[in-house]
Structure 1
Amino acid sequence: MKGKIGLVVGLGVGYVLGTRAGRERYEQIKTQWLKVWNLDPVQEQVTKVKAFVGEKAAAVPGAVWTGVVKVAKSATGPGTPGEKLDATIAAGKDAVEEVSDVAEDVVEAAKKKAEAATSKTSASSASKPAAKKSSQNGK
């Protein structure tokens, strides 16, 4: 899989750097992308996403740490080596499930936030043409 990705990236870079029009087209794409990226609405969303990810990402290491502690306790607990192994495996499975649940919660919350931002952005862009039409009709 890595080889295929490398091949695609290599072909893309080769096109951009190797063709006469490639560098010019690359500069055009880059200029347009920077214009869009630097728009205030885009930067507002970027700031919101960074803050959101910072809040939610803190939950994952906590779940991992809790899982590690549970596994360590079960490995050092009382019982025969076989019982300790069984307890450690069970604690490891539980820890993996907990981390998975936390990660899924973070992803779901991010999706909801992105959908809300997208709907908010589309609603504001949909209202702009209507305002433009009404101002044109008033002339």
Structure 2
Amino acid sequence: MRAKWVFLAGLGVGYVLGSRAGRERYEQIVAAARRVKDNPTLQEAAGVVQAQAGRLATTGKDALGDRIADTKLGQTRIAERLFGTAPYEPEPADQGHHHRRNGVSHS
């Protein structure tokens, strides 16, 4: 996806430069852009980078999910959807127990 945006941006720049330099120069710029885009070495390198980025994203997502699994955030529905952590289970309602906050009993 990023490669597509870079290519489209390049085409836009080529259009502006080409329109200022005349139609012939514009055609030269477009042809050069197509040669670069269609270069098998460039396409292969882009495929390798994309595969590595996918692996890194998966590894990072898994590592982050493991790190937050035992935290309060890890027990939320958001974390469950993003990282596949344990399902969200709300804490049971208070059964008449007094809550203590800062050492003070609140009823």
Normalized against structure 2, the TM-score is what?
0.41
Structure with greater proportional strand content: 2
**Higher RCO structure, 1 or 2 (CA under 8 Å, sep 6+):** 1
Structure with greater proportional helix content: 1
Larger radius of gyration: 2
Normalized against structure 1, the TM-score is what?
0.34
